[in-house]
Amino acid sequence: MKNAHLLLLLLVISFSCGNRDDSEVVEDPTYTVEGKWLWSPDPDNRTYANTMYEFLNGTRYTSYADCTSIFPCANVDFNALDASDRIPGTEAYTFEDNYLTIDGTAQRVSFDCDGGILVFENGGKLWRLSSDCQ
């Protein structure tokens, strides 16, 4: 009887400690380009941003903030821009399978900083206005 209990205990331990894979498959988050993005002439520094692109329902709009090298633009300057500040002319865009196509020119893009930085395959970057990413 003692051997039966020992055998039962060993069976329970072996089944509970087996090579069971309980790991979840974690999918990459899905980001969108919709919204307001900042462009800086220095691709490594958002501080010098003076241009805002707004991607909205397949149309890209462009606005410029009134800043100088002495007084760089801040989020408040870009947040103050509205539809009346957009420059004339727009560009059509699509975003599908990490390809951003603007007026027929497609580029593969990726996201950094939890979706706060849009990185183009050619090294260019845009910073999402609502992010704290630098």
Check: CB of residue 46 under 8 Å from CB of residue 133. yes
Give me the torsion for CA of 96, 102, 103, 105, rounded to 10°. -80
Give me the domain span that covers residue 81: 30-128
Does the pLDDT of residue 131 top 60, yes or no? yes
Please name which of 93, 100, 65 lies closest in space to residue 80, comparing C-alpha atoms: 65
In a domain, 70, yes or no: yes
47 part of a folded domain: yes
Assess if residue 63 is contained within a domain.
yes
The answer to whether residue 90 sits within a structural domain is: yes
Tell me how far apart the alpha carbons of residues 5 and 92 are, in angstroms, rounded to a whole number: 74
Number of domains in the chain: 1
Q: List pLDDT tens digits, range 63-80.
A: 998 876 677 888 888 999
The answer to whether position 2 is within a domain reads no
Q: What tens digit of pLDDT does each residue of 21-31 get?
A: 555 655 557 89
d(CA 67, CA 77): 8
Helix residue spans in 24-100 (DSSP H)? 75-79
